[in-house]
Structure formats: C-alpha cells, structure tokens
Amino acid sequence: MSNIRLITTGGTIASSRKEGSDRVVANVSGAELKSRLHDPLEGIDITVDDFCSVGSFAFDLPLAFALAKHIDEALASDDCDGVVVTHGTDTMEESCYMADLIVGSDKPVVFTGAQRHAGDPDTDGPRNIAEAVRVAAFSAARGLGAMIVFEQDIHAGRDVTKAHTSRVDTFRSNSYGKLGEVDGEKVFIYRRPAQRFNAKVERIVPEVELMKLAMGASPAFLNFAVEQGARAIVIEAFGRGNAPNGFAEAIAPIVERGIPVIIASRCHEGRTRPIYGGGSGGKDLADAGVIFSGDLSSLKARILASVLLGRGADIEDFRREFEKAAGTHSG
C-alpha cells in the first residue's frame, strides 16, 4: 500500500461558479476533490491536507515558499510515500520550481490542476489528480524532483511552462521534452533531469523584480525598482541576452551597490550568452556585471534569486551559486 498526501491550495481544479454570480472562485474542499475521483486507485491510500484555498494568481513568493516547506515536512514522515499538490495553473510552474529547489526528500512531489473548473461537466480535474497520484506512488519517480503531471504528461519543474491560456494540454517542456507519461494505470519515465539544485534555506527574499524588454524600452524601471527596495532584478531580454541602448549604463551602478541583475531571454528555447557588443549587447551587459541565466526562464530565475538571497550571501557568492544552479558556471 502506498500512502500519498494530497495537499490542496485552491485553483481552478477546486473552483466552481459562485451562486448568483458570474465569477468562478475557489470553494471546493480537498475531501470533495477526493470524493470525485473516478479511478479507484487500488493499492494507494490518499490523505487530504488542505493547505490553502486561493486562485494561483493570488500566490506570492512567501506563500510558495511556505508551501514548499510544508511539502518537505510532509515527506519527512515515514507514512508518506509521495505528495500530490493541487494548484492553479497560472503560477503552478513557479510554485513547482520553488518546491524543486527547497524539498530535500527524493520522494515524488507532483503538482497538478485543471483548466476546466470543478463545476464544468467535462472538468479535467479528477483525471489529472488520479494520474498525478499514480506518478507519486510510482517507485521510479523518486529522485526526479518536483514535477507537473497534466493531461497524461510528466514534466520537470525546472523546464515546464504554461503555454496556452485554456487548452487542457497547456503545459510544455520546450527545449528538453517531458519526463514521461501516464497511460491508463501505467507510468512511463523516459528521461531523468540532469540539472538538479537543492537549496537548504530557512527564508527567502521576495523583493525580486522582473522586467520584460520590448523594442526601445527604457531602463528607467530599473532605478524605480531599486528605489522601491528591490534586492535583485531579472530582465527578460532579447535573444542571447541583449537590451536596448542605455541598459548597460543603468545596470552597472546597480550591480556596484551589490544588487544582482540577471539576464534571461524572452525566447522560449535556447541559452543566454554574451556575444554582441554595440550599446547594450550581451558583452556590454556582461561588462556591467550582470549574471546570465543560461536556459533558465525569467520566471524560474526570479524564484532561484529569491531563494539564494535567503542565504544572505554577498553578490559574488550569489553569482557563483546562481551560475551553478543555472548550469552556466565554467567549473
């Protein structure tokens, strides 16, 4: 018998239309979600753990960190073989990556949810929960880190992103592909993540801002963010990691103040790398002291930055650890 903890946080999977209203809100308990499962899941015992009940668009970094610590504590129990977390899809990839960084156990951690709310006649929630539970109870899923299981596919928390606003097969792992899939009662694992990083921290620093660049964007936001207390800034830049004119000059004094500036790419695949000069190309940004995120998306880079800042290290230690976690270090 496998013992799986079902940790609920709200989201579409636990939402239905509010009576007398045109709004869909989180209002379905974990016990009710469990009772709606169509799959008998023989040989698996499910314990419900209601953590919170919100739309994932209302999550913030402290709540995601608290959830990751809660998962870690649950897995420390001998009577817990794995965890399934029901979560809204809007920010699921961020909470999943936070758990990937924080949870120390090698027991399976599986996030899932729904694109169609619980009151919808063809809701995808019960099927996704059942498939997530099967993965969490599967012995070969140990050591894969935090995962998202959705519409039969298994994705690594580091790689996955939400790719469509409404389709039930919304999650993709663009560069590397899924880890495996669920086919009926069978779970298949095709690959194991090569890049895993665990950060043992007791706190995070949530004051990490994210800026997406567009043609001719102004660097004025960077100084505003610093004035408002930003402890790190992630810039979702062009291509290999380039920015409009003026960004290198604006970034240099920020880095000199000990505030990390991280360059990710707005492209969905590939790696950042300093190649171009001529204003604020990647080479110019490198000279200004930025950290390149490699193939780590801007959303994931922000999560990683908040976790590493929680260690209280100086900017050079932060740079070293970030590059190690992102797989961009030269060692």
Pair (235, 165) in one structural domain: no
Same domain, 235 and 178: no
User: 47 is in which domain, residue-wise?
Assistant: 2-189
Long-range pairs of 209-216 with CB within 8 A, sequence gap ≥ 24? 209/233, 209/234, 210/234, 210/235, 210/236, 210/298, 210/299, 210/302, 211/235, 211/236, 212/236, 212/266, 212/298, 213/237, 213/238, 213/243, 213/244, 213/266, 215/244, 216/244
SS (H, E, C) the chain: CEEEEEEEEECHHHEEECCCCCCEEECCCHHHHHHCCCCCCCCEEEEEEEEEEECHHHCCHHHHHHHHHHHHHHHCCCCCCEEEEECCCCCHHHHHHHHHHHCCCCCCEEEECCCCCCCCCCCCHHHHHHHHHHHHCCHHHCCCCEEEEECCEEEECCCCEECCCCCCCCEECCCCCCCEEEECCEEEECCCCCCCCCCCCCCCCCCEEEEECCCCCCCHHHHHHHHCCCCEEEEEEECCCECCCCHHHHHHHHHHCCCCEEEEECCCCCCCCCCCCCCCCHHHHHHCCCEECCCCCHHHHHHHHHHHHCCCCCHHHHHHHHHHHHCCCCC
Do 216 and 165 fall within a single domain? no
pTM over 0.85: yes
Residues 110 and 170 occupy one common structural domain: yes
Confidence label for 331 from pLDDT (cuts 50, 70 and 90) = very low
Q: What is the pLDDT of residue 330?
A: 54
Neighbours of 311 (CB within 10 A): 16
Give tens-digit pLDDT for 234-243.
999 999 999 9
**What domain count does the chain have?**
2
The verdict on residue 58 lying in a domain is yes
- Per-residue confidence (pLDDT) for residue 58, from 0 to 100: 97
- Say if 201 falls within a structural domain: no
Query: Based on the domain organization, do 92 and 156 belong to the same domain?
Result: yes
pLDDT score recorded for residue 327: 83
Give the residue from 160, 189, 218 where a domain finishes: 189
Q: What mean pLDDT do residues 2-6 have?
A: 98
Which residue carries 């090569």 as its tokens?
194
The answer to whether residues 13 and 147 belong to one domain is: yes
**Domain for residue 200, yes or no?**
no
Residues 58, 165 within the same domain: yes
Domain boundary residue, one of 133, 162, 189: 189
Query: Do 214 and 178 belong to one domain?
Result: no
- Examine residue 281 and state whether it is found in any structural domain, yes or no: yes
Range name among 23-32, 163-172, 181-190, 220-229 with the lowest pLDDT average: 23-32
Q: Is 89 annotated as a binding residue?
A: yes
Q: Which of 189, 224, 251 is the last residue of a domain?
A: 189
Residue 90 assigned to a binding site = yes
Active site residue 161: no
Question: Does 88 score more than 70 pLDDT?
Answer: yes
Q: What is the mean pLDDT of residues 270-281?
A: 95
Beta bridge partners of 25: 16
Which CATH number goes with the domain that contains 75?
Answer: 3.40.50.1170
Are residues 241 and 185 part of one domain? no
pLDDT at position 195: 76
> What pLDDT score does 102 carry?
97
- Residue 197 in domain: no
Greater pLDDT, 220 or 23:
220
Report the pLDDT value the prediction gives residue 329, as an integer from 0 to 100.
Answer: 65
Residue 162 domain-assigned?
yes
User: Is 195 within a domain?
Assistant: no
pLDDT band at 29 (very low <50, low <70, confident <90, very high): very high
Q: Does 301 reside within a domain?
A: yes
The pLDDT value given to residue 260: 98
Of the residues 89, 123, 161, 170, only one is catalytic, namely 89
Residues 114 and 14 in one domain: yes
Do 166 and 235 belong together in one domain? no
The CATH number assigned to the domain holding 230 equals: 3.40.50.40
| 56 is annotated as contributing to ligand binding | yes
**Would you place residue 138 in the very low, low, confident or very high pLDDT band (cuts 50, 70, 90)?**
very high
pLDDT digits 0-9 by tens, 147-203: 999 999 999 999 999 999 999 999 999 889 999 999 999 999 999 998 788 888 999
What is the pLDDT of the chain when averaged over all its residues?
95
Q: Quick one: 270 and 175 in the same domain?
A: no
